[in-house]
Structure 1
Amino acid sequence: MKEIKRIVLSGGGTGGHIYPALALYREIQAKYPNVECLYIGTEKGLEASIVPKAGLAFKSIDIQGLKRSLSPENIKAVWLMMTSTKKAKKLLAEFKPDVVIGTGGYVCAPVLYAAASMKIPSMIHEQNSVAGITNKFLSRSVDIIATCFPEVEKDFTKYADKIRYTGNPRGQEVIQSKMDATILKNQFGLSPSLSTVLVFGGSRGAPAINEAAFTAIDNWSDKNYQVIIATGTIHYEDFLKTLADKKLTLPNNIKVVPYIDNMPAVFQAIDLVICRSGATTLTELTALGLPSILIPSPFVTNNHQEANALSLVNNGAAKMIKQADLTGDSLFNFVDEIIKNPNQLASMKQAALALGIIDASDRLIKEIETLIS
């Protein structure tokens, strides 16, 4: 196989597009220590801060998505696509990558389109069970379409010969994180011997989940299990202010934090997770065999988070509460029923493990090696 010497990664907007790219890079670097990597994103997305901290070279282009209705903004979007494709071509010509890999978000459109037009081997990685508009657009141009859910293949029927079912690199990475038996005590001041529930709303937090968790605090206060609520950094002060305004004190079995930056390690000490159903999060849950209560975001394109959630629910690995049905009582009742039932927890754990793909990076690296040979 030809050695992988230079790669370009592109993906942005949310952690769900960025972390799989970084996980793949780290596995490539482990196999090819001298590999050089350039990450192309936008200055507005989370990648602008996350990627440089990870030690990768970062370049930005300016791009935005098309509106689904008639809007003057679409004229700007088309113009940015043209100018950003031109800039992407310049960056690719200078860097001379062996392969260009897109992991989602609008920024991938000009970068992967530029790569295809320059005959540079290219791959898109679709993490969701419903394909995003950018990946649908790019599917005709790229060489490989890597997928994480069998259900998404229906969105690429014209290009079935390009589809490779690889899974998400984040899964392979999280199972390599070390178990820390003291993490609940040292990081949260909680007991390492009690069952623990984690509530969070993704990298940015989710007000609806925070509100339901807040309302459920009183019900959780006298239970023989403990709850961690990660509000999201921008919502943390509001959460604390609401507590103060209502003159409420958190019971000892509940901890509220703004953000958890070592989530894979924390996951390994958790018994039940309540969260959104973004693709990368579900990859982590299934890799570790974590039972979950999923609350799909209703604000995403094509309602893809509900489709993601159903892939776990239909296989017995998770329960789902639609946001329209989410209240403090509904959240508490779901949690209380599951966490107090060891047989149900064990069954959900086994079902989640059966869905996990723990060698996704290895599969992707093999595809890259074949592609560039």
Structure 2
Amino acid sequence: MSFSKHYVLAAGGTGGHMIPAYALAKELVLRGHRVAMITDARGEKIPGMVDEGQVHVLPAGRITKDPRSWVGGTRAILKGRRMAMQLYETFQPSAIIGFGGYPAYPALLAANSRNIPTIVHEQNAVLGRVNRLAARSVNAIATAYPDVLRIKPKYQEKVHLVGNPVREEVVALREEPYPPLSEEGIFRVLVTGGSQGASILSSVVPDAMAMLPMHLRRRLQITQQCREDDIEGVRAKYSEHDIPAELATYLPDLPQRLGWAHLVIGRAGASTIAELTTAGRPAILIPLPSAMDDHQTYNVKEMVASGGARSIPQSRFTAKELAKQMQKMALQPGALENAARFAAKCGRPEAVNDLADLVESIGTSPLGNSMKVKKEKQQMISSRKEALAKDGVQ
């Protein structure tokens, strides 16, 4: 196989940064390009990188308001920058794409030193700290929401709405109908706290389910992700309330569970919302108040405004309030089906294709035209993917 361009993706070591980076890596490889990933030790452990890609671990210097972090953080950033520059000498990238997180910053700094074009992708509705630092020098800012806070007006001409890439299994759910829900049928609820779980869901959700009217409660089938420290306590609560529940610290088949779910209860992380809106599933979301810049509160606004979700601030997230919101959605005829449809209207299932188009446009065509993908180009890409699939390339 011949490779047309080389790209370096740089992402902090959390699922929220790594999942869209992995999705882009796969798409670029399918388009015939070579890809390398820069991350930290945490990111290296998160599965999902294409076999054809390289992974490089760089120091992730972090500078906070605490003066004690300044010297060590600066040293780590400079060391990471030197290591990235060494990689660029041999790999010769056409562009560097940053996905936020501290490991991305040295990679972007090194790109500036080498005059290599750069793009940042922002998954949240508030521009993250590293992306804010890089905004002045990058060629383009790709966003997941129409309105993103903390982007200065002078940088708006760089902004391109592409969405937040998700796994192919989630995109496939968009073509499936909302699961049938009769008045007497099983009501499947999926509870997930994101990659790290959420103890408050473990303490509130089981008691809320017990408060539901008996004719709704007896139909429940719960699947809940829990922290390891919480799981036995949650199991005991559901058993006490005689509510069937499947509990796990990790759900490897989450897309399949999402496909079965009639309602999702969870945090308002960028990846969670991207999956909900891509698949078209209604939700009750509890933004994490400690998230940087309170970005989860802003993440949920578009989905709530559309009618696809309800949001409960953590300060008001009680069993009584959750039970009340669930009844409003579950007992009104057609409410959940309508919410699912409204959620899907917020989805951007072509996010990975649009982001890859933007990346490919660097240095080859005006950025302003990058979202206007011609039908012939899409057909060419589809043909290439089919050929690769026949050759056994996944």
TM-score if structure 1 supplies the norm length?
Answer: 0.87
1:130 to 126, 131, 145: 126
Q: Kindly report which structure 2 residues correspond to 1:260-279, keeping only aligned pairs within 5 A, or say none.
A: 260-279=251-270
Deviation larger for 337-346 or 122-131: 337-346
1:351 to 342, 351, 355: 342
**What's 1:226 paired with?**
221
- CA shift, 1:362, in A, is 1.6
In structure 1, C-alpha distance between the alignment counterparts of 2:47 and 2:36, rounded to whole Å: 10
**Deviation sequence 1:174-206 (CA, Å, 0-9, x none):** 21369899x9xxxxxxxxx52211111001101
Do the aligned residues in 2 keep the contact of 1:130 with 1:304 (CA within 8 Å)?
Answer: yes
**What's 2:10 paired with?**
10
Q: Which amino acid aligns with 2:195?
A: S
Residue 54 of structure 2 corresponds to residue 57 of structure 1 = yes
Do the aligned residues in 1 keep the contact of 2:121 with 2:142 (CA within 8 Å)?
Answer: yes
Any idea what SS the aligned residue of 1:175 has? Answer: helix
2:138 to 134, 142, 145: 142
Aligned residues: 354
- CA shift, 1:146, in A, is 0.5
Residue 105 of structure 2 corresponds to residue 109 of structure 1 = yes
- CA shift, 1:319, in A, is 0.4
- CA shift, 1:223, in A, is 2.8
Residue 292 of structure 2 corresponds to residue 301 of structure 1 = yes
- CA shift, 1:136, in A, is 0.6
- CA shift, 1:347, in A, is 2.3
In structure 2, C-alpha distance between the alignment counterparts of 1:178 and 1:150, rounded to whole Å: 21
Do the aligned residues in 1 keep the contact of 2:23 with 2:166 (CA within 8 Å)?
Answer: yes
In structure 1, C-alpha distance between the alignment counterparts of 2:167 and 2:308, rounded to whole Å: 16
**What's 1:338 paired with?**
329
Do the aligned residues in 2 keep the contact of 1:126 with 1:145 (CA within 8 Å)?
Answer: yes
**Deviation sequence 1:26-47 (CA, Å, 0-9, x none):** 2222232xx322111111x2x2
Deviation larger for 102-111 or 113-122: 113-122
**Deviation sequence 1:251-278 (CA, Å, 0-9, x none):** 3532222211222222111111111111
Assess, with a 3 A threshold, how the Cα gap between structure 1 residues 53 and 364 changes in structure 2: closer, same or farther. closer
Structure 2: runs of 5+ lacking an equivalent? 180-184, 365-394
Any idea what SS the aligned residue of 2:55 has? Answer: strand
Q: Which amino acid aligns with 2:21?
A: A
Assess, with a 3 A threshold, how the Cα gap between structure 1 residues 123 and 165 changes in structure 2: closer, same or farther. same
Residue 74 of structure 2 corresponds to residue 78 of structure 1 = yes
- CA shift, 1:153, in A, is 6.2
Do the aligned residues in 1 keep the contact of 2:125 with 2:144 (CA within 8 Å)?
Answer: yes
Do the aligned residues in 2 keep the contact of 1:171 with 1:360 (CA within 8 Å)?
Answer: no
Assess, with a 3 A threshold, how the Cα gap between structure 1 residues 13 and 4 changes in structure 2: closer, same or farther. same
Do the aligned residues in 1 keep the contact of 2:25 with 2:49 (CA within 8 Å)?
Answer: no
Do the aligned residues in 2 keep the contact of 1:11 with 1:107 (CA within 8 Å)?
Answer: yes
- CA shift, 1:207, in A, is 0.8
Assess, with a 3 A threshold, how the Cα gap between structure 1 residues 51 and 57 changes in structure 2: closer, same or farther. farther
Residue 232 of structure 2 corresponds to residue 240 of structure 1 = yes
**Deviation sequence 1:219-256 (CA, Å, 0-9, x none):** 3684323221111xxx2343204655x79457353222
Any idea what SS the aligned residue of 2:325 has? Answer: helix
Any idea what SS the aligned residue of 2:300 has? Answer: helix
Do the aligned residues in 2 keep the contact of 1:52 with 1:58 (CA within 8 Å)?
Answer: no
- CA shift, 1:302, in A, is 0.7
In structure 2, C-alpha distance between the alignment counterparts of 1:126 and 1:344, rounded to whole Å: 32
Q: Kindly, what percent of the aligned residue pairs are identical?
A: 29
Any idea what SS the aligned residue of 2:72 has? Answer: helix
Q: Which amino acid aligns with 1:322?
A: P
In structure 1, C-alpha distance between the alignment counterparts of 2:140 and 2:210, rounded to whole Å: 51
**What's 1:28 paired with?**
28
- CA shift, 1:91, in A, is 1.7
Q: Which amino acid aligns with 2:55?
A: F
- CA shift, 1:330, in A, is 1.9
Any idea what SS the aligned residue of 1:227 has? Answer: strand
Structure 1: runs of 5+ lacking an equivalent? 184-192
TM-score if structure 2 supplies the norm length?
Answer: 0.82
In structure 2, C-alpha distance between the alignment counterparts of 1:323 and 1:338, rounded to whole Å: 19
Assess, with a 3 A threshold, how the Cα gap between structure 1 residues 114 and 354 changes in structure 2: closer, same or farther. same
Q: Which runs of 4+ in 1 moved over 4 A?
A: 51-54, 177-181, 241-244, 246-250
- CA shift, 1:138, in A, is 0.6
Assess, with a 3 A threshold, how the Cα gap between structure 1 residues 178 and 278 changes in structure 2: closer, same or farther. closer
In structure 1, C-alpha distance between the alignment counterparts of 2:86 and 2:142, rounded to whole Å: 26
- CA shift, 1:4, in A, is 4.3
2:35 to 17, 34, 37: 37
Assess, with a 3 A threshold, how the Cα gap between structure 1 residues 137 and 176 changes in structure 2: closer, same or farther. same
In structure 1, C-alpha distance between the alignment counterparts of 2:168 and 2:142, rounded to whole Å: 15
Assess, with a 3 A threshold, how the Cα gap between structure 1 residues 253 and 339 changes in structure 2: closer, same or farther. farther
Do the aligned residues in 1 keep the contact of 2:37 with 2:56 (CA within 8 Å)?
Answer: yes
TM-align CA RMSD:
2.7
Q: Kindly report which structure 2 residues correspond to 1:145-224, keeping only aligned pairs within 5 A, or say none.
A: 145-152=141-148, 155-170=151-166, 174-176=170-172, 194-219=186-211, 222-224=217-219
